[in-house]
Amino acid sequence: MNKVALDIVAISHSVSQSHNYAVILGEVDGSRRLPIVIGGFEAQGIAIAVEKMTPNRPLTHDLFKATLDNFDIAIREVVINDLLDGIFYAQLICDQNGDISVIDSRTSDAIAMAVRFNCPIYTYDFILDQAGVEMEAEKGEDLSTTRTIHKQGISGLSLAELESQLAKAIEMEDYETAAKLRDEISNRKSN
């Protein structure tokens, strides 16, 4: 089986299931996307870490990371390793002083931990073949736009880049990203 590296591209409301969200993972060296439906609390746990926000009190994922750190355990990678009856399965690949352990996890929790440990997320070709969506670039469109915004954060973009990304986000109907970009542009212009 061929392992495929993924990045978090976006977190948005689920089109297929109301009151749920979808985390969209994008193939690092390709154009396929893997949408995974998750709950609101799980989406919040991922989004807070992606945006590098610090809640007043630690979330469960933060507590788990602190516990692993305390026992000198690092998560080296997350692998979305199976898809059965529409349910994704994942594993945390952990390292404690050179001893590797594999821990089964809900996919949403595994992604939340991957963000906190800044470790790679992988899946297999057969999962992308079953559940992935092929994205086609239009007229030189850069498919990494949203991925870059979520991976690096919007604070590192220039005002011109923010305005360009805002236009693209609106065109792609990615209103969550558009709102963040709009707010960042407003903050910069008011300062």
User: What local confidence, expressed as pLDDT, does residue 150 receive?
Assistant: 47
Measured CA to CA in angstroms, residue 7 lies from 69, 149, 159 at distances of 23, 11, 24
Looking at residue 189, its pLDDT comes to 80
Pair 30, 85 in one domain = yes
Q: Is 9 found in the same domain as 101?
A: yes
Q: Domain check: are 151 and 180 in the same one? A: yes
> What is d(CA 117, CA 94) in angstroms, rounded to the nearest whole number?
11
Residue matched to tokens 């948005």: 12
The dihedrals phi and psi of 84, each to the nearest 5 degrees, come to: -130, 125
Whether 49 and 116 map to the same domain: the answer is: yes
Q: Is residue 140 part of a domain?
A: no
Q: Quick one: pLDDT at residue 58?
A: 87
Question: Are 181 and 120 contained in the same domain?
Answer: no
108 CB-near residues (< 8 Å, 6+ apart): 23, 36, 38, 39, 42, 43, 45, 46
**What is the C-alpha to C-alpha distance for residues 191 and 118, in angstroms, rounded to an integer?**
32
Residue 92 lies in a domain: yes
Residues 98 and 14 in one domain: yes
Positions in the chain short of pLDDT 70: 14-18, 136-156, 169-176, 178-179
Strand 121-124 relative to strand 74-84, pairing: parallel
CATH of the domain at 20: 3.10.690.10
Does residue 127 share a domain with residue 154?
no
Indicate if 7 and 64 belong to the same structural domain. yes
Residue range(s) defining the domain that contains residue 178: 145-190
- 63-109 pLDDT per residue, tens: 999 999 999 999 999 999 999 988 999 999 999 999 999 999 999 99
How much is the pLDDT for 138? 47
Q: Are residues 116 and 186 in the same domain?
A: no
In a domain, 139, yes or no: no
